[in-house]
Amino acid sequence: MHKDIATPKRTKEILDKYGFSFKKSLGQNFLIDTNILRNIVEYGEITEKTAAIEIGPGIGALTEQIAKRAGKVFAFEIDQRLLPILEETLSPYQNVKVIHKDILKADVLSLIGDEIKEFEEVRVVANLPYYVTTPIIMKLLQDGLPLSSITVMLQKEVAERMAAKPSTKEYGSLSIAVQYYTKAETVMIVPKTVFVPQPNVDSAVIRLKVRDTPAVAVKDEAFFFEVVRASFGQRRKTILNNLTSNLHAGKEKKQVVEEALAKASIDPKRRGETLSIEEFGVLSDELLPSFVK
């Protein structure tokens, strides 16, 4: 049996052997609790029919647990210094492919497209670097990858915002962007004590089950998101004020905005955070003809 990577002792041995120092700029925090890693893989619903994508494998602690259950693992690592470490720690697992690329700049589908065809499903499981969590998740959702789910560890407050419901202080444009594509659920809270180095905040694991079709059917997706962002411009302002100040040419078209709100049966005095994703869908379709030519 191979000794698990994710014990404090083994992690220290590996880091010492390679003289590895953490780069703050890459948001590197390595997990040192095997049970938590196994739970993440469990929530990620990984089986031998799964092609798994991991982002930021670090020294391979989570990769190893995914590899024990997945058909194939594609691990994207940006830090060149980790490549020789991963080559050693993951050597027992023939089903892992480490790809030395920045996931944000990579054309993921062309890199792994041919290889994922053999599998029934593609799922993402990762402990994401905190500073780029949102751009990574949005890229994965917008890149047209055939994903079933994304199960990732991230900052607890970001997870709360992604899974938030209307009329809560966490609910905002991020909640809507994520829930437009997925059903979001926080499945686990993870204390900061199980990482080296310890981050300043607690973490959470969020599971995003990708919808077959978006939560609402809208005529223009880009404009829908523009309306959502504009509506949350200043949280204390009403939806009418936010739309007129933040939509391009909104001030000149105040009357148009008022009419669209009336047609969508939305009280202009409401605040953006009280609107459901369905209401935003109706509203953006009402505004569309006047704002997008």
Consult the annotation and say whether 246 binds a ligand.
Answer: no
The pLDDT tens digits of the residues spanning 154-165 come to 999 999 999 999
Omega of the bond prior to 92 within 30 degrees of 0, cis?
A: no
pLDDT for 4 equals: 86
99/252: higher pLDDT:
99
Instruction: Average the pLDDT over 230-243 and give the result.
Output: 94
| Encoded tokens for 19 | 């003289």
The pLDDT tens digits of the residues spanning 32-67 come to 899 999 999 999 999 999 999 999 999 999 999 999
d(CA 291, CA 293): 6
Consult the annotation and say whether 102 binds a ligand.
Answer: yes
SS (H, E, C) the chain: CCCCCCCHHHHHHHHHHHCCCCCHHHCCCEECCHHHHHHHHHHCCCCCCEEEEEECCCCCHHHHHHHCCCCEEEEECCCHHHHHHHHHHCCCCCCEEEECCCCCCCCHHHHHHHHHCCCCEEEEEEECCHHHHHHHHHHHHHCCCCEEEEEEEEEHHHHHHHCCCCCCCCCCHHHHHHHHHEEEEEEEEECHHHEECCCCCCEEEEEEEECCCCCCCCCCHHHHHHHHHHHCCCCCCEHHHHHHHHCCCCCCCHHHHHHHHHHCCCCCCCEHHHCCHHHHHHHHHHHHHHHCC
pLDDT for 22 equals: 74
pLDDT for 66 equals: 98
Instruction: Average the pLDDT over 192-198 and give the result.
Output: 85
Consult the annotation and say whether 31 binds a ligand.
Answer: yes
Consult the annotation and say whether 143 binds a ligand.
Answer: no
* 218 φ/ψ angles, rounded to the nearest 5 degrees: -120, 155
- What's the mean per-residue pLDDT of the chain? 93
Distant-in-sequence, close-in-space partners of 36: CB < 8 Å, separation ≥ 6: 188, 190, 194
pLDDT for 1 equals: 54
Residue 250 clears pLDDT 90, i.e. is over it: no
pLDDT for 24 equals: 67
pLDDT for 289 equals: 95
pLDDT for 20 equals: 83
Consult the annotation and say whether 278 binds a ligand.
Answer: no
Consult the annotation and say whether 127 binds a ligand.
Answer: yes
Q: Which domains does the chain have, with CATH numbers?
A: 8-210 (3.40.50.150), 221-291 (1.10.8.100)
Instruction: Average the pLDDT over 156-176 and give the result.
Output: 96
pLDDT for 27 equals: 65
Instruction: Average the pLDDT over 23-28 and give the result.
Output: 69
Residue 2 clears pLDDT 70, i.e. is over it: no
Residue 180 clears pLDDT 70, i.e. is over it: yes
Instruction: Average the pLDDT over 68-82 and give the result.
Output: 95
The pLDDT tens digits of the residues spanning 105-127 come to 999 999 999 999 999 999 999 99
pLDDT for 199 equals: 82
